[in-house]
Structure 1
Amino acid sequence: MAKDMTLMWFSGSPPCWRVMIALEEKNLQGYNQKLLSFEKGEHKSQEVLDINPRGQLPAFKHGNIILNESYAACLYLEEQFKSQGTRLIPVGAAEQALTYQRMFEGVTFTEKMANVIYYEWKFPEGERHDSALKRHREALTTELKLWEGYLEKLGAGSYLAGYNFSLADVLVFPCIAYVFRFGLSAKNYPRLAEYYGLLKERPSVKASWPKNWLESPQGQDKLKDV
């Protein structure tokens, strides 16, 4: 089954990483994959554009079926391979509801994180303003405190939607890993740090850990004061 799948991806990209974790959790190793370079503009190649006309990654195919949005690809993999590997959508109504809630809150988390980490990249020098960056940093701090509170409420050793690993973790963990990669203080966010440490040891996460992070374990300190 995995031999009918193709994934084009960037190393360290949260959207790409989500799909890779989902593939691991569903025991779909052995898929065709191609690591591309953002710096070289390879995501704008005709090969990618033929699958994803937006020229973005991931670009994912299962046979003739194309899914280029990471949330869509992960939901598809869970639905099509429901009985295989880890069940990622809980059966119980309460846990299922919380899983969906945290999944889609992850969209807001991703946006607020990107507004800070990629601020200089998103806006040309003449369009940057200290007041705007300050506002984005404050919004990210508020967001992080929400997630810290969610984990505090669930208790030690929990995942994002309870004591079972779920699709919420597949979708949101790459962003949590990202903020720690960019210097988030474990002292200021102990529950998030505990969760990060727990997920780092999960086989699917270890198997898909970004190659460039392995090569350069030391990240940046852009978020050290958030």
Structure 2
Amino acid sequence: MAKDMTLLWGSGSAPCWRVQIMLEEKKLQGYDQKLLSFEKMEHKSQEVLDINPRGQLPSFKHGNIIVNESYGVCFYLESQFKNQGTKLIPDDTDQQALMYQRMFEGLTFYDKVLTVIYYEYFVPKGERHDSAVKRNKEALETELKLWEGYLQKLGAGSYLAGPSFTLADVVVFPTVGILFRFGLSAQRYPKLGEYYGLVKERPSVKASWPPHWVEDPKGDEDTLKDL
């Protein structure tokens, strides 16, 4: 099964990491994979474009089936391999509804994180505006307080949709991982810190930890330290 799968991916990309965690959770190791460099623009190579005409990563193929959007890949794999590995859509109606809610809120969460980091790293200093920096960070701070509250309500040791690890955790945890990589304070956001500490110990997350993070564990700890 996994031998018929191909994944083209980039290190530190939340969408790529979602797919990698998903493959691990569904016990689909042994797939064909290739790590590409964003810095070298390898995601715009013909190899990628042949699978993903948008020139984006991840690019995923299973036999003759192509699914490139990370949420789509996760849904596809859960549907095709629902009786294999971890069951990631709970049967309980309340938990299932909460899972879907948190999954799609996760897109907004990721967007707000990316906006702050993108402005810091890719907008030239001469083109930055203090008002934009302030506005972006305030939007992210509001978002962080929402997620802190969600976890507070669920109680200690909970995942995003309740007591079980679900698709919501597969797709949202990489965003949380990026936050702490870039210096988010676990003292200021203790529930997010607890959640990060819980999920990062899962075998699927350890197995897919971004390789350049392994090489440089410290990361960019100043970017979000003031949030």
Q: Deviations over 1:98-142 (max 9, x none)?
A: 000000000000100011011145545554211011101000000
Residue of structure 1 equivalent to 2:223? 222
Match of 2:224, as an amino acid?
L
> 1:17-32 alignment to 2 at 5 Å?
17-32=17-32
Q: Which runs of 4+ in 1 moved over 6 A?
A: none
Residue of structure 1 equivalent to 2:80? 80
2: CA distance, partners of 1:71 / 1:211: 22
Residue of structure 2 equivalent to 1:56? 56
Q: Deviations over 1:37-92 (max 9, x none)?
A: 11111111000011111111000000111111100000100011011110111111
TM superposition score normalised by structure 2: 0.97
Residue of structure 2 equivalent to 1:151? 151
2: CA distance, partners of 1:124 / 1:49: 29
Residue of structure 1 equivalent to 2:46? 46
1: CA distance, partners of 2:121 / 2:50: 26
Q: Deviations over 1:171-202 (max 9, x none)?
A: 00000010000000010000100010001110
TM superposition score normalised by structure 1: 0.98
1: CA distance, partners of 2:94 / 2:119: 37
> 1:1-226 alignment to 2 at 5 Å?
1-125=1-125, 127-220=127-220, 221-226=222-227
Match of 2:202, as an amino acid?
R
2: CA distance, partners of 1:114 / 1:18: 16
**Percent identity of paired positions between Structure 1 and Structure 2:** 74
SS for the counterpart of 1:33 is: strand
Match of 1:114, as an amino acid?
L
Match of 1:89, as an amino acid?
I
Alignment gaps of 5+ in structure 2: none
2: CA distance, partners of 1:209 / 1:121: 22
The alignment covers a number of residue pairs equal to 226
2: CA distance, partners of 1:121 / 1:214: 21
Match of 1:50, as an amino acid?
D
Shift of 1:9: 0.3
* Two-structure CA RMSD over aligned residues (Å): 1.0
SS for the counterpart of 2:188 is: coil
Alignment gaps of 5+ in structure 1: none
Match of 1:171, as an amino acid?
V
Greater shift in the superposed pair: 28-37 or 125-134:
125-134
SS for the counterpart of 1:85 is: coil
